[in-house]
Amino acid sequence: MISYFKRALSDFIRHRFLHGVCTATIALSVFIISAFTLFFVNAGALMNTWQKGIRVIAYLEPGVNQGARKALIQRIKAFDGVEDVVFISRQKAFSWLKKEIGRQSSLLEGLEDNPLPDSLEIKISRSALNVKDIEYLASRIKTFNAVNGVEYARKWLARFKGVYDLFRITGIILVTMVFIAIMFIVANTIRLILFSRREEIEITRIIGADEEFIRNPFYIEAAMLGFLGGITGITLLFISFALSMPTISPSGILPFFTIRFIPPAAGIAIVISSVIVSWMGCYFSIRRFLHM
Amino acid sequence: MDIKPDKHEKMETRASRKKKSVIGFFNVCKFYGESDAIVDVSFTISKDDFALITGPSGAGKSTVIRIIYMGETISSGSVIVDGMNLLRITRPQVPLLRRKIGVIFQDFKLIPSKTVFGNVALVLEAAGVRSKNIIHDKVMSVLETVGIGDRAASYPPTLSGGEQQRVAVARAMVGEPKIILADEPTASLDPEAADAIYQLLQDVHARGTTVVVTTHDLNLLEKGGTRVIHLKSGRMVSIVNQDVWNGL
């Protein structure tokens, strides 16, 4: 195996321009894939953060007594996906409002009566955190007589989820296409090398070399191309990320969320995929060109 | 020099037929589409033979050589090389057959990006020899034998034709094959270099290797071998022992 590595390395150096161009192209492709991964990792985390804060607020009809309220809370708690139900009295809600509007709280002083209703804050369990489940839950709660109305960030959540899903499908298609492109790039590079060395390969066969002896260095070369391209692509993304982060994060675009680089496991998976796809490109090229 | 095959096939002595043959062609035909390269060729070459295959250009000499090392497959007939029936040989067995054979070409077929040492060492590497010391000793020994030990670090394009052919001979010899096939080995060399190469082949033969040389050079034919196979337009015209050939 060491001798195969040596031959592959010497060939890599001999065809350095061709290999260099191929590595750069793979690096660019891996850069695109990694950038998509970076987006999905952070968009997913961001959505998770937002979803954690989602609460369904059920506003109660005026004059619901304590007994009816307790019974309502028990019934709501019995629903799947409800983690907790907290009663917020109209007085408490009014004091929170005053606190939140701060200096402008004097505006509320003119009010003769507290306009806010009693309400129930329904905390959704994480397992039920999807738009359809929340919609269903809200529609069920709305049917109770004691409930005047239900409110939650429905439209906004659905819109974000829709955009995220669209990006995810686009991303999967794009990543697949980029990987196929890597396979073609490596296949063509190896084909060019095989073509330039066809006489040498023929001589090697005549002197008694078996197929493994001939093809293994090419497989190693392809794996090296995939590995170098993968590492270079991710390194380029990291440099771009490190340089652009100071301009994104502290500017206040997303003050409550820290954008993170792709996790090491995802980075390793991308590099391994790049190696495998390059190897496959070489495999197809060798099968066609060397009839192995 | 047209000779009727019937008459001269009889010239083969009984003794030579009894010798163990390492190469046997039996009614071999090779067609390329409509045209025939060789038709109904039959002969045997024994272990201690230095066989010369002769005939004009297009006679099928190179095709015979290519068939022996399985550079070509036959259209019909059968070929036995060192006990292996080439019709029944499996793909993984082809390299094993080729390791029994050293091949020398008219155009040398050296790898220009490898040094002389590298070209010769490749045979041992391909045969699975891992020890660097063994490879070094064997390669240097064979390079010394062919008289180019001092050019081990040179690249083929920097060598003369005669030197390149010596490297090709060294490459054919280094794996200690049972058979050496030389396809017009002296055709692109000056007479002096041609003599030297021919002498090298005779030395190899003297060490017990079966040598098969294709040539249309009459001078070479006179220098000797043990038998001469004469082809013309893909058909075998005669197969005679060298002494008989020289007497014709």
What does the pLDDT look like over A259-279, one tens digit per residue? Answer: 889 999 999 999 999 999 999
How close B111 gets to chain A, by Cα (Å)? 6
At residue A53 the predicted structure's pLDDT band, cuts being 50, 70 and 90, is low
Mean pLDDT of chain A: 83
pLDDT at residue B5 greater than cutoff 50: no
So what's the pLDDT on residue B27?
A: 92
Report the pLDDT averaged over residues B207-236: 84
pLDDT at residue B225 greater than cutoff 80: no
How many residues are listed for chain A in this entry? 292
What does the pLDDT look like over A57-87, one tens digit per residue? Answer: 889 988 888 888 888 898 888 888 788 888 9
Report the pLDDT averaged over residues A163-171: 82
- Could you tell me which residues of chain B have a Cβ less than 8 Å from any Cβ in chain A? 69, 71, 92, 95-96, 98-99, 101, 103, 109-111, 113, 122-123, 125-127, 130, 171, 175
At residue B11 the predicted structure's pLDDT band, cuts being 50, 70 and 90, is very low
At residue B8 the predicted structure's pLDDT band, cuts being 50, 70 and 90, is very low
CA triplet B33, B37, B39: central angle to 5 degrees? 105
Mean pLDDT of chain B: 86
pLDDT at residue A152 greater than cutoff 90: no
So what's the pLDDT on residue A130?
A: 67
How close A288 gets to chain B, by Cα (Å)? 17
Report the pLDDT averaged over residues A142-154: 83
Inspect the interface and report whether the beta carbons of A207 and B113 lie closer than 8 Å. Answer: no
At residue B240 the predicted structure's pLDDT band, cuts being 50, 70 and 90, is confident
So what's the pLDDT on residue A182?
A: 85
Inspect the interface and report whether the beta carbons of B126 and A207 lie closer than 8 Å. Answer: yes
pLDDT at residue B248 greater than cutoff 70: no
Inspect the interface and report whether the beta carbons of A200 and B113 lie closer than 8 Å. Answer: yes
Contacts B104 to A, Cβ<8 Å: none
Domains of chain B in start order, with CATH, are 5-247 (3.40.50.300)
Provide the CA A207 distance to its chain's centre, in angstroms. 53
So what's the pLDDT on residue A27?
A: 92
So what's the pLDDT on residue B58?
A: 85
pTM above 0.95, yes or no: no
Nearest CB partner across the interface for B99, out of A14, A200, A208? A208
Least confident of B4-8, B152-156, B171-175: B4-8
So what's the pLDDT on residue A55?
A: 77
pLDDT at residue B150 greater than cutoff 90: yes
Domains of chain A in start order, with CATH, are 2-49+163-289 (no CATH), 55-152 (3.30.70.3040)
Inspect the interface and report whether the beta carbons of A208 and B92 lie closer than 8 Å. Answer: no
Report the pLDDT averaged over residues B125-152: 92
Q: Cα(B101)–Cα(B115) distance, rounded to whole angstroms?
A: 22
List helix spans (H) across chain B: 5-9, 14-18, 61-68, 93-98, 116-126, 132-145, 161-174, 191-206, 218-223, 242-247
Buried b (16+ CB within 10 A) or exposed e, A179-203: bebbbebbbebbbebbeebeebbeb
So what's the pLDDT on residue B118?
A: 94
Q: Which helix (H) or strand (E) holds A179?
A: helix A154-196
pLDDT at residue A253 greater than cutoff 50: yes
At residue B10 the predicted structure's pLDDT band, cuts being 50, 70 and 90, is very low
| Whole-number Cα distances in Å, B242 to A75, A252, B205 | 112, 98, 15
pLDDT at residue B6 greater than cutoff 50: no
Q: Cα(A187)–Cα(A166) distance, rounded to whole angstroms?
A: 32
Report the pLDDT averaged over residues A180-184: 87
* Maximum CA extent, chain B: 54
What does the pLDDT look like over B13-70, one tens digit per residue? Answer: 444 445 678 999 999 999 988 888 899 999 999 988 899 999 888 889 999 999 999 9
So what's the pLDDT on residue B246?
A: 58
pLDDT at residue A123 greater than cutoff 90: no
Residues sharing a CB contact under 8 Å with residue B15, sequence separation 6 or more, in sequence order? none
The two structure tokens encoding residue A206: 């005549």
Contacts A204 to B, Cβ<8 Å: 122, 126
pLDDT at residue A251 greater than cutoff 50: no
| Whole-number Cα distances in Å, B68 to A59, A212, B40, B87, B243 | 95, 23, 15, 11, 25
Inspect the interface and report whether the beta carbons of B95 and A203 lie closer than 8 Å. Answer: no
Nearest CB partner across the interface for A3, out of B123, B125, B171? B125
pLDDT at residue B12 greater than cutoff 60: no
What does the pLDDT look like over B66-119, one tens digit per residue? Answer: 999 999 999 999 999 999 999 999 988 999 999 999 999 989 999 998 999 999
Inspect the interface and report whether the beta carbons of B126 and A210 lie closer than 8 Å. Answer: yes
Q: Which helix (H) or strand (E) holds A62?
A: none
